[in-house]
């Protein structure tokens, strides 16, 4: 069965959770989609995970197109969400051209790191047939502005701004909202203010879906991993396929993330 945005909306309406994982190539796209993971994110995290860079900032449009094409060849029916990389949305015209390139490469929707300031473009992309996921909270392309990978929405002003961004993005026609590294309580507040599917990472258990970076959940990431990461290799049958299946099941059952994976 091919997963579409209607599938995700139906899951939400029925109170069923869904899962999302990153993949950057054909083989892993095949494994992830065959396990039933509803959404594959071709994330610009590939800059760190595949290329060993220290942020997502250097990732180019050409690289995103290449990896989206690879993922689309191996995909077995998941919804492919492709990241718009750093400065690929600098002007509206550039945004249209770049989003179209990702769709032609096999993406089913694009993900942008944006907020209320981006709502005009969200509406126009949506009107032109390109669904948009809006990434809020810790938006890694702004790491230099934030001064590090820090939990967002901890003070009253940023909390209010994030809520407003969420409401504005939905009003503008966003198909999905994705929150990274915000307090679990703020995620709960967002959930009672929006009605489109919501994906979380480091945002507690309240969202409709969870996403992790594939290499993190396979325990393959060297060094210290973030608090919200769980290694699913020991939870499966010892294979990568087993770990991905264990992740998908845990998210579906509401067993991942647990409160201790979130931020107070
Ligand atoms: O690029 C990526 O993998 C992401 C996730 C961490 C949400 O944006």
pLDDT tens-digit series, residues 23-67: 999 999 999 999 999 999 999 999 999 999 999 999 999 999 999
Q: How large is the average pLDDT for residues 143-170?
A: 97
First to last CA, the chain: 38
- What residue ranges line ligand 1, CB within 6 angstroms? 22, 41, 43-45, 83, 135, 178, 180, 201, 211, 213
In this model, does residue 1 exceed pLDDT 90?
Answer: no
pLDDT, residue 205, reads 98
Measured in Å, residue 199 CA sits from the centre of ligand 1 at 11
pLDDT higher than threshold 90 for residue 181: yes
* C-beta of residue 211 within 8 angstroms of C-beta of residue 22: yes
CA of 156 from ligand 1 middle (Å) equals 26
Contact 217, 229 (CB under 8 A): yes
Q: Is the pLDDT of residue 210 over 90?
A: yes
Q: How far is the CA of 161 from the centre of ligand 1 (A)?
A: 21
**Among protein residues, the one whose CA lies closest to atom 4 of ligand 1:** 43
Q: Is the pLDDT of residue 124 over 90?
A: yes
Q: Which atom of ligand 1 is nearest to the CA of 22?
A: 3
User: Does residue 250 surpass a pLDDT of 90?
Assistant: yes
Around Cβ 14, how many Cβ atoms within 10 Å? 7
Q: 180, 239 in Cβ contact below 8 A?
A: no
Residue 39: φ, ψ to 5°: -125, 130
Residues 6+ apart with CB under 8 A from 209: 8, 17, 18, 19, 20, 38, 39, 197, 198, 199, 200, 251
């Amino acid at each position: 069965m091919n997963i579409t945005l209607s599938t995700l909306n139906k899951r939400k309406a029925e109170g069923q959770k869904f899962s999302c994982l990153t993949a950057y190539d054909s083989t892993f796209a095949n494994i992830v989609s065959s396990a039933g993971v509803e959404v594959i994110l071709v994330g610009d995290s590939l800059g760190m995970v595949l290329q060993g860079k220290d942020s997502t900032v250097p990732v180019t449009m050409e690289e995103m197109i290449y990896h989206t094409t690879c993922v689309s060849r191996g995909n077995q029916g998941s919804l492919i969400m492709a990241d718009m990389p750093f400065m690929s949305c600098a002007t509206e015209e550039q945004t249209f051209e770049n989003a179209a390139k990702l769709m032609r490469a096999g993406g089913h929707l694009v993900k942008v790191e944006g907020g209320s300031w981006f709502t005009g473009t969200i509406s126009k992309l949506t009107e032109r047939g390109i669904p948009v996921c809006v990434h809020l909270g810790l938006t890694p392309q702004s790491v230099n502005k934030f001064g590090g990978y820090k939990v967002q929405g901890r003070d009253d002003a940023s909390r209010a701004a994030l809520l407003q961004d969420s409401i504005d993005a939905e009003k503008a026609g966003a198909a999905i909202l994705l929150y990274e590294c915000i307090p679990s309580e703020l995620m709960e507040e967002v959930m009672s203010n929006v009605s489109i599917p919501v994906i979380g990472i480091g945002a507690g258990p309240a969202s409709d879906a969870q996403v992790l970076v594939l290499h993190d959940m396979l325990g393959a990431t060297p060094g210290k991993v973030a608090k919200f990461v769980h290694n699913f290799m020991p939870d499966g049958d010892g294979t990568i396929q087993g770990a991905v299946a264990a992740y998908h099941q845990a998210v579906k059952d509401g067993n991942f993330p647990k409160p201790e994976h979130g931020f107070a």
